[in-house]
Structure 1
Amino acid sequence: MLRRNFVKSSLGLAGAALVAGEANAFSTSPMAKNKFKLKYASHFGMFQNSAGKDVIDQLKFMADQGFMALEDNGMMGRPVEEQERIAKEMTRLGMEMGVFVVDKGGNGANTLAAGKKEYIDIFLNGCKKAVETAKRVNAKWMTVVPGDFERKLPIGVQTGHVIDALRRGAEILEPHGLVMVLEPLSDTPNLFLRTSDQTYEICRGVNSKSCKILYDIYHMQKNEGRIIHNIEATWSEIDYFQIGDEPGRNEPTTGEINYKNVFKYIYDRSKSENKSFIMGMEHGNSKKGKEGEEALIKAYVESDNF
């Protein structure tokens, strides 16, 4: 899979569900420098020049700046002790966990479109392991990418294979209240999942509350454009957003996407429907060092000012 590198108890799951059901109902630290309207999730390394390399210090810096969620694609690969340490500090800070990537959840080496038992078994084992990680770090969402096309098969057959595999994955996650979010990507034309309407179709076919869309605005700007139009068209199946400007895949205001308008649309519609989304900051910094981190924060303050 070419890309950059759920809750300790039923009480924790219930709390997470309650938060998710209340539109924009999240609180920032009383001492936070910024009060954002949306729940932006930064990642480790984004502020290490300002906060240092220790992940706990970075979490404290994020919360101090008003970023009250975290996403960490590689969370499943972290030692259990570190996962627990991160979760404990996030609970203390009142931060929410966003997505992590399901390990071997589908990639070029085990594409779900092929329909092969050995590939599906790898995916299902990844889902089972992801449940344990999610419990430790109080997570609800996990990213899944089905992998590459199986060019020897008709597209409809490939789609059927993907739906069948994802249904079985959803059966593992649903009893725990967890959600795999499918992410269409632009990294290479070999990737099976490319557009939001294709992902919408697959989610409808899986027909589970544990299989939804991760709408990455950067990738979708590259693959299909018309961001607000396509968010509106696939809204009912979207459960998570990610951010990155194009070109460059850096913070908002550095490319061609009008993030202020996009954020306003998501905020207004979420509020009218009593929903809430985590907005994953899955992008780089356009400038190096502390100066770049300060510019990134400023960009979010500007884009959230609608």
Structure 2
Amino acid sequence: MQRRKFVQSALATSAALMSTAAVNAASTTGNLLTPKRQFKLKYGPHIGMFENNAGKDPIDQLKFMADQGFTAFEDNGMKDRTPELQAKMGETMAKLGIQMGVFVAHKIYWTEPSLTSGKQDKRDEFLQQIKESVEVAKRVNATWMTVVPGYVDLRQEMGYQTANVIESLKQASAILEPHKLTMVLEPLNFRDHPGLFLTKAAQGYTVCKAVNSPSCKILFDIYHQQITEGNLIPNMERAWDEIAYIQIGDNPGRKEPTSGEINYKNVFKFIHSKGFTGVLGMEHGNAKPGKEGEMALIKAYEESDSF
């Protein structure tokens, strides 16, 4: 055999062996050669959702999310993390191509009036916390932050409470607008959170129209709205120009899509048809425990995203 042909043959054999070894390795390490999933929408997991597979370190969890094809992330408790960890998470997301979703912007009063009361001390506290949240948003490259106006004031007519909330939100919007940040108001259901001011999409729509700012929009949580009023797609359609952020959770149970009664494939298809490019936060638990449950959750999103 000529030397040239011998070398070519040896190289071909070597390449084949390396390819076979790589495939075998992939089959034993979780299909490392399988292309990353490409979801049609930006689903955003949260810390803890995949810790059985990724470990407890937030950075490792972000890397696992990216490896699984997720391009967004949300963290209600981001504001409580150290500035150093916030910055590190922000840098990691930027490198991984993950868009930051919401974090909670302020102290939520679950059982006593706050913004509804119109009291100056409560308003001042809220506005100070919005200012602090601007700095958090800068560190993690966030656009949106969650705001819940809090508990009803039973000593005041609803019209006066609404006016009090609107005034606080107008002042908060003036803080956020120069930074191109948006607070998203979340209507919550009466079963899990009885007595709160903001419960329905139409109410949120009215408030946002009155505030009249790009920095004040609706967070449409599908789980909460299924419980409160249902009629999901028509209600989203009516409020669409004020919806800036969406959250997910099936009912009953508040777990991943396919675990309850909501036809998420149709809901996601509608959202996609509207050209939505924002984040859909996965604000729910896992229907099944352990590593298997986490992978089943991802499978449920694959199924619901296949429209």
Aligned length: 273
Contact 1:114 1:150 in 2 (8 A): yes
Residue 49 of structure 2 corresponds to residue 66 of structure 1 = no
Residue 225 of structure 2 corresponds to residue 220 of structure 1 = yes
What amino acid is aligned across from residue 224 of structure 1 in structure 2?
Answer: E
Aligned to 2:244: 239
Aligned to 1:204: 209
Contact 2:249 2:283 in 1 (8 A): yes
Q: In 2, distance between residues paired with 1:170 and 1:132?
A: 15
Return the match for 1:161 from 132, 148, 164.
164
Contact 2:112 2:153 in 1 (8 A): no
Superposed displacement of residue 277, structure 1 = 1.8
Q: In 2, distance between residues paired with 1:110 and 1:36?
A: 41
Q: In 1, distance between residues paired with 2:35 and 2:71?
A: 10
What amino acid is aligned across from residue 178 of structure 1 in structure 2?
Answer: L
Is there any run of 5+ residues in structure 2 with no aligned partner, and where? 1-32
Aligned to 2:16: none
Return the match for 1:122 from 121, 125, 130.
125
Aligned to 2:79: 76
Contact 1:32 1:66 in 2 (8 A): no
What amino acid is aligned across from residue 256 of structure 2 in structure 1?
Answer: E
Superposed displacement of residue 108, structure 1 = 3.5
Deviates more, 1:97-106 or 1:200-209: 97-106
Aligned identity (percent) is: 58
Contact 1:32 1:64 in 2 (8 A): no
- Select the structure of larger CA radius of gyration: 2
What amino acid is aligned across from residue 237 of structure 1 in structure 2?
Answer: E
Contact 1:213 1:238 in 2 (8 A): yes
> Could you give the per-residue CA deviations for residues 171-229 of structure 1, whole angstroms, max 9, x where no partner exists?
10011000000000012221100000000000001000000000000000000100001
Contact 1:39 1:279 in 2 (8 A): yes
Q: In 1, distance between residues paired with 2:166 and 2:198?
A: 12
What amino acid is aligned across from residue 305 of structure 1 in structure 2?
Answer: S
Residue 261 of structure 2 corresponds to residue 260 of structure 1 = no
Superposed counterparts of 1:112-151, under 5 Å: 112-151=115-154
> Could you give the per-residue CA deviations for residues 14-71 of structure 1, whole angstroms, max 9, x where no partner exists?
xxxxxxxxxxxxxxxx975311000000001000000011111101110011111110
Residue 100 of structure 2 corresponds to residue 111 of structure 1 = no
Q: In 2, distance between residues paired with 1:219 and 1:116?
A: 28
Output the TM-score relative to the length of structure 1. 0.87
Structure 1 residues 135 and 32, CA gap change in structure 2 (3 angstroms): farther
Structure 1 residues 108 and 168, CA gap change in structure 2 (3 angstroms): farther
Contact 1:149 1:191 in 2 (8 A): yes
Contact 1:105 1:123 in 2 (8 A): no
Is there any run of 5+ residues in structure 1 with no aligned partner, and where? 1-29
Contact 1:32 1:65 in 2 (8 A): no
Superposed counterparts of 1:168-179, under 5 Å: 168-179=171-182
Superposed counterparts of 1:47-62, under 5 Å: 47-62=50-65
Secondary structure class of the residue paired with 2:244: strand
Aligned to 1:293: 294
Contact 1:214 1:239 in 2 (8 A): yes
Output the TM-score relative to the length of structure 2. 0.87
Q: In 2, distance between residues paired with 1:147 and 1:115?
A: 12
Give the root-mean-square deviation of aligned CA atoms.
1.3
Contact 1:106 1:144 in 2 (8 A): no
